[in-house]
A and B are shown apart, each in its own frame.
Chain A
Amino acid sequence: MGRYIVRRLIWVVFVLLVITFISYMIFFVMPSTDPAVVFAGRQPTPELVAEVRHQFGLDHPWPVQYALFVKRIFLGDQYGWPGLGFSFNTRSELKPIIFSRMWVTIQLAFGAAVVWLLIGIPIGILSALKPRSVFDRMAMGFALFGVSAPVFFLGPLFLYLFWFKLGIAPGSGYYAIGVYGIGPWFSHFIMPWIVLALLYAAFYARMTRANLIETMGQDYIRTARAKGLSERTVVLKHGLRASLTPVVTMFGLDLGGLLGGAFITETVFNLPGIGAYAIKSVGSGDLYAILDITIIAGFFITLMNLVVDVLYAFLDPRVRYT
């Protein structure tokens, strides 16, 4: 198991290298505009462009540039570790910006994850226990709505209804818990959490339902009943245990994906997360920021993949890694 994890961690590093290589090629080697010109500002003198090019190391051949870039990421740059570079826009180091935005995205993603698990899994269980009942049909109707309604539709709808019309929810924006206290922080996060979670909740309800229905038809469920166990034990201990392992897999991957930025939710609710920053950086051509966010998103997805695989060995005794 230990050896397996080490091997997988090496793999994570390799995947990140590939991601950095492709991203670097796209943004620095074959860009539509010269990065040095972009940074130098409007109507720069040739001397200024040359100096910028020299300062950023862009006068080296591109393999050397790339090697330097990778070295800075893994070993740190003049701003410390990890070397995330310099923003063309704010003319300041990127690390504090990226880290503070990561923190917002983490709060959004984990909060939404709690909401969608609390909504999706119980609905899935209840639907599975009484398939084709009124509750099941209503729940699956909700699931269809949740899967079909995009965040850029639900978000403004929620804001319009609960903030503008009913006035029971505060508007958009990020109110840091350390600055404004727990009340404003929580109330401003409720709507983004729910809107982001609805899509996933719908998906998880359907997945839990399908898995549990399949599991409840297994022979070992009949065995559990034949032992004289209560129906509650049969469902929760024997049925759910077996049907939640695929849900755990999905959960890890979904969470990993979200940590790379919930682009639309962050934009709609005006949350300064990593996704909103990615959109901003792409718009302004802030090359190092775009690269950093790409690498961070890739890192979370590959890392969560590893976490899920390791977790699986604990959840399913038949799985053993060597």
Chain B
Amino acid sequence: MPEPLLDVRDLRVHFPTDDGLVKAVDGVTFSIMPGETLGVVGESGSGKSVSFLTVMGLITARQAQIQGEVIFEGVDLVKLPKDEMRDVRGLKIGMVFQDPMTSLHPFYKVGDQIAEAILAHRKIGKKEAMDQAIDMLARVGIPRPDERARQYPHEFSGGMRQRAMIAMAVSLNPDLLIADEPTTALDVTVQAQILDLIDRLKQEFNAAVVIITHDLGVVAEHCDNIQVMYAGRAVEYGYARDIYYDADHPYTWGLLQSIARVDAPRTERLKPIKGLPPSLIFVPPGCPFHPRCPYVFDRCRTEVPQLLPVDGHHASACHLSLEDKERIFKEEVMVHQ
């Protein structure tokens, strides 16, 4: 078994606030192999973004309490001194953010912003860095890249800006690319292009990729593995096909049922998951999903379910028996797919 590229063990990220302790991430364990694409799915506030901002060392809140291990290429990033962490950011791990409208600095030219990332890690001249930046813009499919490099972000469309962000993130050939909801702010037609671009670059650069999203439908064909998160915890993990065709957690079922399908009959309504995501200060006791779960029983209210293997690679955190889960999935969830 080869060494994982990223190995996150029992990560906890807590923020003390005036209202109480916000447990944004509360004991998450997962790993990513080199070249793998991992999809991380969950609602707002499920801890998916915070987990990966922690990996990047981008949690800037002074009072944040970070526990656990983030082993990246054999080094624990949580314990890494700040200046050494800077050599990881951008160089070893690239990150693309949700909103390309606000993620680029409005006052600097796009080419300069990409060249700045290169210059932060390579001892080369400005001219050379600019040439590399233009080359990167070409590789992410921006036409007339030398002209575009001299333009400001406001002269780019949303999709073009996200391409420029991706060019910046992969400009130093990182081993891991984290894309935090890279398509949420874009038009549907552009979404597919961006995901295809990430796929293509992943092949070209031979990088591992994390795609964070709240839309299970978006990542289906782009991910090897999928991790479903809820209330700061991982509730299900497995190969993409396990999640789509053999899901084992009621929350994942809910996500599957809320995917909009164009081929569904017009009379069929989307089935939203009832209720609201839990408060991260007063997380419900037992299974955090139990107040919203249609299959709740006594044990769910008191005992926290652990993320346990269902079969080999596939794991879920639910007290329902395997037989019950298979029956419910076949009878109630699959019929809609």
Contacts and interface: CB of A to CB of B under 8 A. Distances in A.
Interface in A215-238: 218-220, 222-231, 233, 238
Given A226-B58, A227-B168, A317-B154, A241 B120 contact: no
Interface in A230-255: 230-231, 233, 238, 241-242
B154 A318 contact: yes
B117 interface: yes
A233 B90 CA distance: 15
Nearest to B60: A225
A214 interface: no
A178 to B, nearest CB: 42
A316 B120 CA distance: 24
Given A223-B97, A317-B154, A228 B88 contact: yes
Contacts of A222: 58, 97, 103
A219 B99 contact: yes
A226 B105 contact: no
A315 B102 CA distance: 18
Q: Which one of B97, B107, B117, B165 has the greatest number of beta carbons of chain A within 10 Å?
A: B107
Given A233-B120, A317-B152, 13 more contacts: A218-B102, A220-B104, A222-B103, A224-B105, A225-B60, A226-B56, A226-B89, A226-B90, A228-B120, A229-B90, A230-B120, A241-B107, A242-B107
Interface string A77-101: 0000000000000000000000000
A228 B86 CA distance: 5
A220 B104 CA distance: 5
Contact of B103 (A220, A229, A231, A242): A220
Interface of A: 218-220, 222-231, 233, 238, 241-242, 315-318
Contact of A223 (B86, B103, B107, B154): B103
A249 to B, nearest CB: 15
B143 interface: no
Q: Which one of B56, B87, B90 has the greatest number of beta carbons of chain A within 10 Å?
A: B90
Interface of B: 56, 58, 60, 82, 86-91, 94-95, 97, 99, 102-107, 116-117, 120-121, 152, 154, 165, 168-169
Contact of A227 (B82, B102, B117, B154): B117
The 7 closest A-B pairs by CB, nearest first: A228-B90, A219-B102, A228-B89, A227-B117, A220-B105, A227-B90, A317-B152
Contacts of A219: 97, 99, 102-103
Contacts of A223: 97, 103-105, 165, 168
Given A227-B120, A229-B120, A317-B107, A220 B102 contact: yes
B89 A227 contact: yes
A226 B106 contact: no
B86 A230 contact: yes
A233 B120 CA distance: 10
Contacts of B165: 223
Contacts of B103: 219-220, 222-223
A241 B112 CA distance: 15
A252 B149 CA distance: 33
B163 to A, nearest CB: 14
Contact of B95 (A220, A226, A238): A226
28 contacts: A218-B102, A219-B97, A219-B103, A220-B103, A220-B104, A220-B105, A222-B103, A223-B104, A223-B168, A225-B60, A225-B89, A226-B56, A226-B94, A226-B95, A226-B97, A227-B89, A228-B89, A228-B90, A228-B91, A228-B120, A229-B90, A230-B86, A241-B107, A316-B107, A317-B106, A317-B107, A318-B106, A318-B152
B94 to A, nearest CB: 8
A223 B165 CA distance: 9
A228 B102 CA distance: 18
Contacts of A318: 106, 152, 154
B116 A227 contact: yes
A71 B117 CA distance: 60
A223 B154 CA distance: 16
A222 B152 CA distance: 18
A137 to B, nearest CB: 15
